[in-house]
Amino acid sequence: EEEHRSSVGDFVMRDIIILLGPPGAGKGTVAPVVKSKLGVPQLSTGALLRDVVRQDSKTGRKIKGMMQKGELVPDEIVMKLLKERILHKDCDRGFILDGFPRTMEQAKALDTLLTEMRERVTMALYIKVDPSILEKRICGRWCHKRSGRVYHVSSHPPKSMKLKNGAPDPQTMRDDKTGEALYQRADDTPEALKRRLVDFHKHYDGILEYYRKAKKTVNGNGSIQEVGHSIPL
């Protein structure tokens, strides 16, 4: 592990890793591998915002109001929360940013923050996956509303699943624990995926170029084990 950490005098540079990849690329698979290899926490800006909302502070109430209206929380607020979070003891060795930055403005704001701390993004891990594989992964997902449990018709089907004309019969898609009906998210259809991919490239191609010096590409086409082994750490 230690060879990843470069010292400047007595100052040890932290491992600061951002995870980038289209919907269904497997960021949730890659993050735990990086976490355990480097001993650093995974930070999600969504989770940071939800934590603040739970605290019911003045900022929390302001954020809750925005989220309820479906508004985006301003970058200044997100950056302030992030700055506080990365000073916690568990981030001493570094941290993984999941789902951030999403825009060039956020990438630049993150750089400004890290530069103030004499740091930089040490690795931008881009998980590259063929569109046909993304479609199989995403469009095969079924969820259980109350628990958040996720099933997949090929890799993790519910025990109740039966096929009808070669495709899963929606009537038989039920949660293993409760027997309650599963549902497919509106985002998990082929048409929605095409739109999301166009949107992803519109936003992220510039960010990938911005981080080209720190960028490392992971082949995300394989199984969880294969993808885990191909992470360049």
Residues 126-185 pLDDT 10s: 999 999 999 999 999 999 999 989 999 998 999 999 999 988 999 999 999 999 999 998
- Three-class SS state of 32: helix
**CA 13 to CA 93: how far, in whole Å?**
8
pLDDT digits (tens, 9 = 90+) for 72-90: 899 999 999 999 999 999 9
Query: What is the model's pLDDT at position 99?
Result: 82
* Burial class, 15, CB count within 10 angstroms (exposed 0-12 / middle 13-18 / buried 19+): buried
Active site residue 141: yes
Could you give the C-alpha distances from 185 to 113, 126, 145, 151, 220, in angstroms and in order? 36, 25, 10, 12, 22
Residue 137 is a catalytic residue? no
- Of these residues, 37, 149, 196, 215, which one is catalytic? 196
The one catalytic residue in 185, 194, 195, 216 is 185
From the centroid of its chain, how far is CA 188? 16
Domain regions of the chain by residue span: 2-130+192-229, 141-183
Predicted TM-score (pTM) of the model is 0.78
In the numeric block, which tokens belong to residue 171?
């009537």
Residue 102 is a catalytic residue: yes
196 is catalytic: yes
Which three-class secondary structure state does DSSP give residue 173? coil
Q: Extract the tokens encoding 124.
A: 């931008």
Can you tell me the distance from the alpha carbon of 210 to that of 232, in angstroms, rounded to the nearest whole number?
20
* Residue tagged active-site, from 93, 102, 120, 149: 102
Strand partners, 44: 98
Domain boundaries 2-130+192-229, CATH class? alpha beta
pLDDT band of residue 207 (cuts 50, 70, 90) is very high
